[in-house]
Amino acid sequence: MTGFVIRKLLRTLFTLFLVVTFVFFVLRLTGDPVSAMMPDDTDPAILDELRKQWGLDRPLGVQYLEYWFNLLQGDFGNAYRDGRPAIEIVAERVPATLKLTLTAFAFIVIAGFPLGIFAAVNRGTAIDRGIMTISVTGFSLPNFFLGILLIFLLSVTLRWLPAYGSDHWYNLIMPVITLGTAGAAVIARFVRSSMLEVLNAPYIRACRARGMTERAIIWTVALPNAAIPTITIMGFMVGTLIGGSIVTETVFAWPGIGRLLIDAVTARELAVVQTVVMITAASMVFANLAVDLLYLVIDPRRRYASGTGEG
């Protein structure tokens, strides 16, 4: 089991290394940030001085090694325009993104699990078909389209909710629905599939033979077993939420790191972009690592396999 954890941790760290390296080179090979930020008629001598000041005049390999040297010391670099540390700029936006993504995750669980269970219990009925139709539709709608549709209906037409802002609880409603609908649809489909498989298992028939009520069977026996494969999907949901927050925050002018990333890419703030991407990648890979470790806790079969060198 210890070897399994170490292998997973090493893979996680290697993935982060690849992400950081890829982003570093892509950002620098797609254009000169100094030329992008300064007017076209800027004196070339001024441009050269800025490149020297920001370390962009050195060979790319030297910049890369220097970046890692600073990063290992906790220095994520500074923004070009105001000289502030990139990590400080990103940290100011993290609470807003956490508020949005955690609420959206709660929405996914609260909506997805009951819908999946209800569809499985009513398999083959109009209720089942209706829930699955809604799930397919919710999964198929792009974030930006759903967000704009909600703004048109609830803000422009009905005037029930504000189209932007983050000061009040009701500002969360449309962004959370936009961000969480696809995830809730996926969870509903997976829970339905897992529940159907579990409900046909021999031990469920044994529970019925012992006189357990259908409600007790569903909630105390079937659901815990059906939830095990769904946990993997919920781990991937973290990446989906973080990626989807970029679009959602832009549509609703939400002041999180997703919107910061768009602004930083436009302004060619390399240090800020690298920091946002690194934090996003770290959140995704460590969430998947946490799911793998959670599997060891809740599934004895997986724990045995890891102990014998499998997995």
Which residue bears the tokens 């009905």?
158
Pairwise pLDDT comparison (170 vs 310), residue with the higher score: 170
What CATH number has the domain bearing residue 232? Answer: 1.10.3720.10
In this structure, is residue 220 part of a structural domain? yes
Each residue of 28-48: pLDDT tens digit? 887 777 777 777 777 788 878
Taking 50 as the threshold, does the pLDDT of residue 309 lie above it?
A: no
Domain assignment present for 53: no
**Ordered DSSP codes for 15-37:** HHHHHHHHHHHHHHHS--HHHHH
What is the spatial distance between Cα 32 and Cα 217, in angstroms, rounded to a whole number? 63
Question: Which helix (H) or strand (E) is 127 found in, with range?
Answer: helix 126-140
**Residue 15 belongs to a domain:** no
Residue 12 lies in a domain: no
Q: How many domains would you assign to the chain? A: 1
167: pLDDT strictly greater than 90: no
Answer yes or no: is 52 within a domain. Answer: no
Q: Is residue 239 in some structural domain?
A: yes
- Residue 106: the pLDDT is 93
Is residue 163 helix, strand or coil?
Answer: coil
Would 102 be classed as within a structural domain?
Answer: yes
Please compute the mean of the pLDDT values over residues 101-109 and round it to a whole number. 93
Measured between alpha carbons, how far is residue 166 from residues 59, 93, 97, 171, 264 in Å? 43, 12, 11, 5, 21
**Residue at 230 is within a domain:** yes
The range of the structural domain enclosing residue 161 comes to 92-269+283-303
How large is the average pLDDT for residues 119-127?
A: 89
Note the pLDDT tens digit of each residue in 188-226.
999 999 888 888 888 888 888 888 888 888 888 888 888
Q: For 85, phi and psi rounded to 5 degrees?
A: -60, 135
